[in-house]
A and B are shown apart, each in its own frame.
Chain A
Amino acid sequence: MRRMLSTWVRPALLYGLVAFFVIWTLAPVIWIATMSVQPEINYVSVPPHLSLNDFSLRWYTEMLSQADVAAALKNSVITSVATMACCLVFGSLAAYALARLKFPRRNLFLGASVISRMIPSMVLIIPMFLIMRWLNLRDTYAALIIVYSTFLLPYVIWMLKNFFDQIPVALESAARMDGCTRLGALFRVMIPAAAPGVVATAVFAFIGAWNEFLFGLILSTREVTPITVKLSGLVSSTFHSDTSLVAATGMLAILPVVALVIILNRYIVRGLVEGVKY
């Protein structure tokens, strides 16, 4: 009896839980996706009346044809890619130094980068606003890229350092004997050898920049408004005509990162776990 129970109870419980977590994870995404391809009237009615016949992508095309939404997407792409590039370049230099070179006060820098991960952005937002105004950088890509890079670099450096630590020192020595300078060995051998980790770090930096909101809200007025800020404006504006448009914008805001997660899943999982280690 007991054995019989366990032969079907266990899988039933397991698959039940799997179903729960899949629904829990996907329901909000699927719901907003549904809203973004249906006219508002269909889901406002009680009960919702969803119909394949009404399926349309026109809310996407309409949003994309609106100058400010298209610009916000472009802004997000530019700042995120540039932030990722900055993080990778500066981050790999610093991570290499921390992983391989002995220099005085190395631990001071390590400590400072750990502490800087703990500083909440709310502490920095007012001074950052004033500094950027003083530097005349408000509402420029440079401001956002600088701020995002500064925030993400401590994480990026730790992740990269952990990946570099796993590469045998001899590999780098071999490259230097073969004719590379130190930096040559870093870029031609260490980074390619740590490629999965570097990819994970790059994705991490990109997503971090793409999803940022607070600094985008405060440091941009019009020209460089990122998609997150644009979306929040649409949601709270009291007289938007069509919720489907907001839903479509929400989808546009997550599509790039969702694509990254699905394509680079394995790297990301490893990178996340690695980023926690000290």
Chain B
Amino acid sequence: MRERKAQVWGLLAPTLFLMFAIGVVPVIYILYLSAFKYNVFSRVGMVYTGFNNFRKLVFDTDFLKSLRLGLTFVALCCGIELPLGLLIANLLTLEFRGKGLFRTIMTLPLAMAPITIGSMWVLLMNPDIGPIPFYLRKLGVEYNIGVNPTQAFFTTVLVDIWHWTPFVVLTFMAGLSALPKQPYEAAVVDGASRWQVFRYITIPLLKPVILTTLFIRIMDTFRVFDEVWMLTSGGPGTATRYVSIHLVRLVLQSMEYGYSSAMSLFLLYLTIVMCWLLMTFISSSQEAA
């Protein structure tokens, strides 16, 4: 038996070692660095400053603005994608010819590299060559995401909708097809309207899937980087400077490793808390059901 135990740890050892090296060590390193003032260009090297970086972080208006902007982006994307996805998935419950083809088309954006999606939309939105600014100009609308902050912000939302609404639709379609049939038959016997069936049967039954999807979408939109980086790099000004973009720009431009680490640690903490809260919420609502 003891021999078996050693063998089991033998199976786990490489994974544990690797995950410790690339998953745990960096976090400890961030923790360590966040207590220092460490700029590559400064001649003094690392200077211990205790909690100074965190004090700076709490009063950093740029960071707080990027956090607010990021959360607005999350709310807007999820607020549009989920109802839209639910609506479409609910419409597509019936069988029809070409459903398989439709699903294949919907899967396409999910497999594409986010950076490709960014460059694809650059090709569409560029004021010199893109068809969208071209036709909008004919309608009398000047459209330039490199200049107009509002347009840039809503363009990133549009790209996210393009990228992830198919995911929401496919998830909800899978969830809907797994629902039991009896409640629906009972509702038809009782003469319930379409809206009533949707509101009082579909939504409650689909709740676990809806919450899981919402959770994944919240976390993914919060950490969005590639598409926005390719499309606007956070500009114009700070219009699309969401948290990840803000952090990367800070690292690349200022090389303030200590302060960046403090910010990283805070974001990591925020992610874990958000994950934990949402997952607790999901499991408690599943128990209640």
A and B physically associate: no
Report which B residues bind A (CB closer than 8 A).
none
